[in-house]
Amino acid sequence: MTYTGQCACGAVHFTITAAPIAVRQCWCRRCQKMAGGGPAHNAMFPTEALTITGPVAHTGYTADSGTAIHWDFCPTCGTPLLAYAPVARPHLRAVRLGVLDQPNDLAPQMVIWTGEAPAWAVFDPAIPQYPAAPPAPAPKAN
């Protein structure tokens, strides 16, 4: 499977040449802020499967879990592109579903940080839910 994507203004393009390792809906307060009030929807891919072209800006923070997180965004339009933990999980990149050209087959497989979700949030009862950080996904065998 190959996924493609771009930011809202089209300055940044990327290609992903692997299936996702996990798809998550995140309700942590940082993701809510970056997503405009709702959860962030991320598909986690192997780092080596991702190719990015165009200008990318970076910033970082320490997540509530204690993990150092970096995230990339378009410096022109501000579209959040992806996040990663360079020390804890350098083999993974969490790509925002909204920037993918083919997001419809990537439904969340778990909901994380439900403990920080607003009272009106609705979670799919059919998928695992975690009040804080979930266990890290392991790399898939080739």
Give the chain's mean pLDDT. 91
Average pLDDT on 38-51 reads 96
Average pLDDT on 70-88 reads 94
- CA-angle at 23, arms to 133 and 101, nearest 5°: 140
Q: In the structure encoding, which two tokens stand for residue 107, read together? A: 């439904």
Q: What percent of the chain has pLDDT over 70?
A: 95
Options 3.30.365.10, 3.40.50.150, 3.30.9.10, 2.170.150.70; CATH of 3-116? 2.170.150.70
Per-residue pLDDT of 98-137, as tens digits, reads 999 987 889 999 999 999 999 999 999 999 999 998 876 6
Residue boundaries of the structural domains of the chain = 3-116
CA 24 to chain centre: 7
Residue 1: pLDDT band (50, 70, 90) is confident
* Confidence (pTM): 0.87
Residues 6+ apart with CB under 8 A from 111: 24, 25, 26, 27, 39, 123, 124, 127, 128, 129, 130
